[in-house]
Structure 1
Amino acid sequence: MLELRGIRKRYGGGSDGASPATEVLRGISLRIEAGEFVAIVGSSGSGKSTLMHLLGCLDRPSEGSYLICGQDVAGFDADQLAWLRREAFGFVFQGYHLIATETARENVEVPAIYAGQPTAARQARAEALLTQLGLAGRSGHRPGQLSGGQQQRVSIARALMNGGRIILADEPTGALDSRSGAEVMTLLSGLAAAGHTVILITHDRGIAAQARRVIEIRDGLVISDSASARHAAPEAADANPPAQGANDAAQLL
């Protein structure tokens, strides 16, 4: 479903040549199938977060091709990229990125507001997601009234609000205690079992080992991929989630 071909990413480097460019990714090629639970592991500075930004269409590569369901992202316009980020991807971050003045339910609703969903429908879905993730009765609490683990559950619910067929989780347990971290990993594993594609970015090998596939990145290169030992990726649990919208991007997922 997601395929990278010879991806390179450089930052800096002026046209006058006075400041050399820094190459963060140096030729990444890999394929991630629908329904996989993948961990991308590497130390600080390895390029793993840059890779996540490219996978989530938050940035573009300097060279190489990124294909989603066979379609090259380079050909997408701004509206198509926005659709993918809003409807296909769900993002979970170490720092939660919740709006401090909004309730848990209101935070979960944010992606649906951008998608133009009716008020009653999005409120009902937000409540249902919070209940599903063990936060029944907490929907009216603001982030400051919730524990770190509860805040991360809110962010996962937000990632699922518009479907979240592909979950990109960047160090989702990094700010949590061991118990809360284990609970979040159980949630992510459950989402993968339900057919979501889960891509976990982490520096922690113990966390990465809980995924079904582990890709190690170092100095901007993939140095190991556990899928190569299996010679095949897991079958997609749900490779064709419902399409939404009229443009081409809406037909991809």
Structure 2
Amino acid sequence: MGKYALITGASKGIGRAIAIQLAQAGYNLFLVARSETELQELANYVIAAHGVKAAYLVKDLSQDNAGVLVAEWVRRSDIQLSVLINNAGYGLWGNFAELSLDGQMNMLRLNLDATIEITYHLLPLLKKQPKAYVLNVSSTAAYQALPTLALYSASKAFILSFSRALRYELKDTTVSVSVLSPGPTDTGFAHRAGLDALADLAEKFNMRPQDVARIGLKGLFDGKAEIVPGFLNKLSAYAAKHLFKTWIERISAGLYRHSK
């Protein structure tokens, strides 16, 4: 039947790059995102370019029980799933009390609920494989509190903590769990978050999605717990761990305030 991987948030950016690189490695793909046009184009591309199978599901993972429906879709297909990539997520910029609560809760459902539900319901399938892998995509934002990105950074801190704890719980099984924490990446994140002014600055430090995907997959298959791609991103994560939190928060608040 071959090897199968499920990628959420697969239509663009890091998710798309991961999907293509897994197809190059011979994995058949299950792709999930909101855009049918982009998913169909990606599926057609990997089928033609790499001779793998590719199925896709158009789904807004911020909807209630969306993660459960994705897991059911995979289980009904009766395939040997060995790689799960939880990549779907986005951020919202602004003061917590001034942003729409509905918008922020929608973000949390996507960033947290979908990852939790999909992982929970697909773990029994992954455990059946001789070797299986889970990669949860977090962010360097996970390593510090970010004023004006308060819930986004908190959600990514959750993903980081959850991934490490789950990794330990599964250490005596065939499933290896890793967490990928990219920094600025050329994915359009800043514009969607409302950080248009900062986006121009971020472009100077952006990594290419293809490079983030390559480093992330290598770390995943090497069994690394945490993967932070890029020297500057590693440095910022290290600084956030070891410098006074109030310093980091003051620096971050000043940086993001300038994007008004």
Greater strand percent: which structure? 1
Greater helix percent: which structure? 2
TM-score by length of 1: 0.32
Higher relative contact order (CA 8 A, sep 6+): 1
